[in-house]
Amino acid sequence: MSTKAIQILALVGFVFLTGWAHARVPIETRADLGADFVPAPSAVAAASLGFDAILADYYWLQAVQVAGAQSAIDERVAGHLGRLVDVVTTLNPHVGHPYRFAAIWMTHSRAQVLEANRLLERAIEYHPDDWRNRFYLGFNHFYYLGNYPAAAEALEAAMELPGAPRYLPRLVARLKSQTGDIEVAAVFLRQLLEGTEDEAERAKYETGLDEIEIERKARFLDHARAAYRELAGKDIERIEDLVTGPFRVIENFPDPEPDAIPDPLRRGSFWEIEGDRIVSSYLGARYEVHYSHFGGHKGALYDEHTNLEPDAAEDTGYEHAEGEGA
């Protein structure tokens, strides 16, 4: 029997035994252990016998199945997906979409975001001309880690790459000045929304954009409240003082819910005063960049509205190419 035939038989046996071992584990135990059942990338690479791309396909299929079987991607599942994609991209680093697929979900903790960034840096190493990986890296640095300089550096390197959105230089300037973070977040989220057709991902980004819309309205009311203080020489006693009485400063309240919500889904939300801030009952709190839920608390800053419209970005599925451009 030839050496090649022996390698093929060994690989078939390896895949069969891996599948058999997974099947023998009770469903509840597998769900509880999650990422424990993903072998170290170095161990898989050592056992691949030269069939790296085939095994990469095998583990990528597992990742797709894990994500597709969940109604929501929690921290445990996100970690599981990250481990699987680490194996996939170690075996075949020329793949394209898996890097960004992992980065989308690995956002439940600072450690997960840092691990997602490590995968994105690997993507940049093997796809230096793909602006999207640098964009996702910049988004993570800004949105989850609050690191403006690192975000600006990632996007600045993407500005001249083929297909990069025309607004990137303005976004970099914003990041370098460390101002206008809700507008920067909106640009990032719109680009990510346009770049995916996955319904769960789209819902996540649309929710973020809805929150930013309400925050803009709340800031408008904050400015109105400041104008009232200047005019009346005192603070408002109730929210209605802004639209009634001798010192009214606005004609009507902005809608406390996202404008795009159809009437049957509206909640009857209202504006209310919470200390020094005006809050919509739709959210129950003021908008903050989302990394604050697991680390450094940082609220959004006041800023004038910008007009940064993202270009469309088309993301691809998994491609197991052997060179650039996957």
Kindly report the average pLDDT of the chain as a whole number: 79
- What is the per-residue pLDDT for 182? 83
Residue listed under structure tokens 């161990």 = 43
Q: What is the mean pLDDT of residues 170-175?
A: 86
More confident residue, 4 or 21: 4
| Mean pLDDT value across residues 159-182 | 85
Higher-scoring residue by pLDDT: 317, 267:
267
The least confident of 36-40, 66-70, 292-296 is 292-296
Phi, psi (rounded to 5 degrees) for 71: -80, -25
* Amino acid (1-letter code) at residue 108: H
Average the pLDDT over 130-135 and give the result: 96
- The whole-model pTM stands at 0.65
pLDDT over 90 at 192, yes or no? no
Count the neighbouring beta carbons within 10 Å of the beta carbon of residue 114: 13
d(CA 311, CA 308): 10
Enter the DSSP assignment of 284: S
pLDDT band at 184; cut points 50, 70, 90: confident
Q: For residue 307, name the pLDDT band (cuts at 50, 70, 90).
A: very low
